[in-house]
Amino acid sequence: MTFATDHPDAASRALILDEMVCFSLYSASRATTQAYRRLLEPWGITYPQYLVLGQLWTRGPLSVRTLGDDLGLDSGTLSPLITRLENAGIVTRSRTETDRRIVTVALTDRGQALRGEMAEVPAQLITCMGLSLDSARILINSLHALTESVQATPAG
C-alpha cells in the first residue's frame, strides 16, 4: 500500500479513497452492517436491535440511558428501536419504582429465547469476514485502541 504522502504530488492525491483510513473504516463498517443484515433477516432483527439484544443478554435489564451510553446512540435513535423490539414482543419497558423518570428495558421470554436461536451469528460473521478468532481479537483490540486515541485527541 502506498500513501499519498509518498508521492511528489501528495496534495493532489490526498483524497484518493483507497488511501484514506477513514474511508477504509467506513467501507468495512458498511460491509459488516450489510453482512449482519443478511444474517439477521430470518429473525426480522436489524443490526442496531441486535446490539441492544446483545447488551441485554450479557448485562440483564438496563435503563434506556445506560443502553444509549453503551451503544453510543441518542434517545431519538434508541427510543424507536426499542419500540419496535417491544412491539415484536422481544423486550418490555417499565419505570422503576424508586424514580419514575428512569425507564428500564428487559427481555421477554421471546427475547431470551432469541439468544439461543442466534448463537451462531457471531461465528457466521467472523467466517463471512474471512477471519480466524485470533485475528478477529487482534482487529478488535486495534479498533479499540484507534477509537480511544481518536477520542482522546482534540480536533484541530
Residue 25 belongs to a domain? no
Residue 13 belongs to a domain? no
Distances (CA, A) of 94 to 85, 99, 106, 114, 124: 14, 11, 8, 21, 34
Q: How many domains does the chain fold into?
A: 1
pLDDT band, very low/low/confident/very high, at 15 (cuts 50, 70, 90): low
Residue 70 belongs to a domain? yes
Residue 138 belongs to a domain? no
Residue 14: the pLDDT is: 56
Query: What is the average pLDDT across 114-139?
Result: 94
β-pair partners for 103: 95
Which of 92, 118, 95, 139 is CA-nearest to residue 40? 118
Q: What is the pLDDT of residues 47-65, one digit of tens each?
A: 999 999 999 999 999 999 9
Residue 53 belongs to a domain? yes
Residue 15 belongs to a domain? no
Residue 153: the pLDDT is: 87
Q: What CATH number does residue 66 fall under? A: 1.10.10.10
Q: Is the pLDDT of residue 86 over 70?
A: yes
Residue 10: the pLDDT is: 58
Residue indicated by cell numbers 511528489? 8
Residue 112 belongs to a domain? yes
What domain range is 86 assigned to? 45-117
Residue 80 belongs to a domain? yes
Q: How far apart are CA 51 and CA 76, in angstroms?
A: 16
Instruction: Tell me the pLDDT of the chain averaged across its residues.
Output: 89
